[in-house]
Structure 1
């Protein structure tokens, strides 16, 4: 009987060890800096003639005025650790808060906003397709609703989802789907949380994780911008990509943040990683709507899909904010440019990989 109990105990112990979630950490480094400092830029990656490249489009240059809204574009040769400038997005005047996604080898650049000399801002509906092999652009179908500071996510290497964001005068809860095969748009199930801009998110398989952002609310007759803490999971229906089942999930540790960098990671564990951002929302120059300077948060968080829990993954070596997303190439993840302490726009490119702690 004692032997049987011992065997059962060992079986339970082995099973529990096998089921224990893998503990992960991030390994940080830097690569060749950008040709110029740039922030709030749209970033992505693609393969050209068998070689991996990173890409940056548009954004804000040093000076941080309307004159510094940029249409600068460049690509980074990962193998040779070199940057080179490429033709600019053909929008004539540049824009901020755009987003870029790679689908089937082509890079799509969505929306954003322009800034005039008088400070007026206009959300843009144009979408450009960039061919990284031909090094050329083509304007494709306009989005249904112009948005900026939205989260963009790719599903099945075909569909691009634009989730919530700002439209000229207010936030919207719209979820717009662009079908790259038919060059057409549809509306999906609206975003279930408060409509926000400057939120962040990633996708793994058919599961989106989005967090935080900024709400525009009216308080005593005056519109103010305030952080909107909250994290939401969206699961795309396998039969109909326009159907999304939204559910609230536990909020991440720490304060809500604005303009974090985020990315979905499939291996060695499925999770969505969130880096940087700030708890003091601002327009584009790094000075908050409350007229106080904004500073980046250094903490790195991840929502693990295997355990449905948030984990803390240490600190970003050089804290940054003012991001659109994280560019992925293989098992490497790149934060390209951004804004550092003192509202300094940077040319720094920070890279991380995901490590299994017990294999270190």
Structure 2
């Protein structure tokens, strides 16, 4: 069924029927979230409502570290790109997956037939990935991207270990044996046979990585040297090129973009070098966001980025822009944030108490993209409380069952202790300023309903505002904020309300029920008639509430981390740069990454597609139909195309579905693409 949500199409059911003579029809029905998730999303999402897919929201996240794979990456990890996806074979595992840059998602693929170890590598050629698995193994295999299947090929001539590497000239596969040998091999794809070529000038080991450009293969020798070699395919000879700036003493995968080769030094350094093929010269590039080990980098053509993997048993990877010599996204925080961390915007900077029971205080310069240490706070922050800007000062509760209340002066970089709060402040203590006037407003948390105001000029607290309504106690995840005139309040843990406080009448009113459960990591901000909320509680959910229409819109998810998909938690925070209309989000939970969200004037992308997996109808002699039940907005459309195959190798052209009639040839295997 298709239904309208605002101005967007939502598809919640699709039925494909293949009919046969005297045999029960085979059908495939897509209506559950798990079923949609087996397909490929481009500009559509299935995250907002169970069993539905719809066009993605039009805003866009940018971050330094992107959606992480399910496993940490370390020694023996192999990486490669087919120009659209980045593929990863995890070291010392058979876990194999690909990353889709358009959706910032990982898709787990068919497990590799062997575990990867030192010397493993992959190379893309004509719809296949060719892989050797290293770890003193000879095994060699090919991955069929279309059919998500592995086929074992003829073994390599010898056991592959550190320094093993693969590359292609566009026709055949070439391989370094590594393992302190000079062996150089060729795999002829047309015959499936290996042959020996002229060996390298000296033995190859860790740090070697083979790449191809315009008739030549290039590789570092590795093994704690800075030697660079070039192999001429036509002449079958090796030459020694200009030495790299420093010696490489650890495994690393090189990336090639045009006539430049990029290599991370690894070895727990932040160094990356670029080799200019035409000039036979080396340059030092921008430092990595964090120190890296073992894995390396790979070029992805579709977004023209080099993907750099941190490795060393971590999950992170970064996107490096060769044109700007920089990494996408805000710079990582200086130290890991924890309970008590917050983000507060003022005057072109984002201010951050680190939390985690420390007095450390930073600010992020949005112009220079740098973090700066500021004067330490008078006391350690370690509770789920939030600060606020009023005039030219920042105000903070300490929380943690204290009455401590502080003011920070950005111009003087100094702290002052203000009048103590009228009650002990705990988790859910939140401050708000309506943009003008003499008063701050506050909740004190701790599962209480108390609501106070603070006179800025008098440095005094008043118990005059009406308390929070029943069943909206301030606790973990509770947030008080302003639209510039009145206040809004997101109730905390065990509750689920969005409330409004009208200052002129001293009254509370219920605005909406929350579409998420607030807890640690929840935060909310107002901007331009909308309320933006990160759900927290380990989730990546990100919501927008439009005040005038009273509608919730699910926006693109925040990054989730690790194999268990952790979203924002303790120390998670959300803030808006009011000059540039950009949101900034911190996940907290000791994760250094901060992400930025660019708000779009449109609610949704103009179009998107969903591509089904290959479905096996087993036996079919005629089509019955492709069925949808649809109610469509007048300015929208949905189209379908199918393609079929008898063997999952040779496919027919994509053919439009006319009404419910499938126009593709009748075959055992079918695939559907839906355009919205």
What TM-score do you get using the length of structure 2 for normalisation?
0.38
The count of corresponding residues between Structure 1 and Structure 2 is: 270
- Secondary structure of the corresponding residue to residue 359 of structure 2: strand
Match of 1:322 among 555, 558, 570: 570
- Secondary structure of the corresponding residue to residue 423 of structure 2: coil
What TM-score do you get using the length of structure 1 for normalisation?
0.69
Match of 1:54 among 350, 357, 376: 350
Matches within 5 A, 1:196-211: 196-198=474-476, 199-211=478-490
* 2:585 alignment partner in structure 1: 335
CA contact (8 A) 2:527 2:576 kept: no
1:248 partnered with 2:536? no
Match of 2:335 among 24, 36, 55: 36
CA contact (8 A) 2:572 2:587 kept: no
Q: Please give the alpha-carbon distance, in whole angstroms, between the structure 2 residues aligned to 1:358 and 1:263.
A: 18
* 2:358 alignment partner in structure 1: 70
Q: Please give the alpha-carbon distance, in whole angstroms, between the structure 2 residues aligned to 1:338 and 1:78.
A: 19
CA contact (8 A) 1:153 1:202 kept: yes
Match of 1:172 among 448, 470, 473: 448
1:353 partnered with 2:598? yes
* 2:373 alignment partner in structure 1: 85
CA contact (8 A) 1:111 1:124 kept: yes
Q: Please give the alpha-carbon distance, in whole angstroms, between the structure 2 residues aligned to 1:209 and 1:98.
A: 16
CA change 1:25–1:148 in 2 (3 A) is farther
CA-atom RMSD in angstroms? 2.4
CA contact (8 A) 2:57 2:554 kept: no
1:326 offset after TM fit, Å?
A: 2.1
CA contact (8 A) 1:272 1:303 kept: yes
Q: Please give the alpha-carbon distance, in whole angstroms, between the structure 2 residues aligned to 1:185 and 1:58.
A: 27
* 1:301 alignment partner in structure 2: 543
> Following superposition, which runs of at least 4 residues in structure 1 exceed 3 angstroms of deviation?
none
* 1:313 alignment partner in structure 2: 555
1:191 partnered with 2:436? no
Q: Deviations over 1:280-330 (max 9, x none)?
A: xxxxxxxxxxxxxxxx11111122111123222231133312246422222
Q: Show structure 1 runs of 5+ residues with no match.
A: 1-16, 18-22, 61-68, 114-122, 215-226, 238-242, 279-295, 340-344
CA change 1:172–1:358 in 2 (3 A) is closer
1:160 partnered with 2:405? no
Q: Please give the alpha-carbon distance, in whole angstroms, between the structure 1 residues aligned to 2:462 and 2:422.
A: 8
CA change 1:179–1:131 in 2 (3 A) is same
Q: Please give the alpha-carbon distance, in whole angstroms, between the structure 1 residues aligned to 2:420 and 2:572.
A: 20
CA contact (8 A) 2:490 2:524 kept: no
Q: Please give the alpha-carbon distance, in whole angstroms, between the structure 1 residues aligned to 2:527 and 2:542.
A: 14
* 1:99 alignment partner in structure 2: 386
Q: Please give the alpha-carbon distance, in whole angstroms, between the structure 2 residues aligned to 1:320 and 1:54.
A: 18
CA change 1:87–1:176 in 2 (3 A) is same
Match of 1:236 among 497, 503, 522: 503
CA contact (8 A) 2:575 2:585 kept: yes
Q: Show structure 2 runs of 5+ residues with no match.
A: 1-6, 8-55, 64-329, 561-566, 606-676
Match of 1:276 among 535, 542, 548: 535
Match of 1:262 among 514, 520, 524: 524
Q: Deviations over 1:101-157 (max 9, x none)?
A: 1111211111311xxxxxxxxx11111111111111111111111212223221134
Q: Which has the larger radius of gyration?
A: 2
CA change 1:163–1:213 in 2 (3 A) is same
Q: Please give the alpha-carbon distance, in whole angstroms, between the structure 2 residues aligned to 1:258 and 1:94.
A: 18
Q: Please give the alpha-carbon distance, in whole angstroms, between the structure 2 residues aligned to 1:181 and 1:27.
A: 41
CA contact (8 A) 2:536 2:572 kept: no
Higher relative contact order (CA 8 A, sep 6+): 1
CA contact (8 A) 1:272 1:302 kept: yes
- Secondary structure of the corresponding residue to residue 353 of structure 2: strand
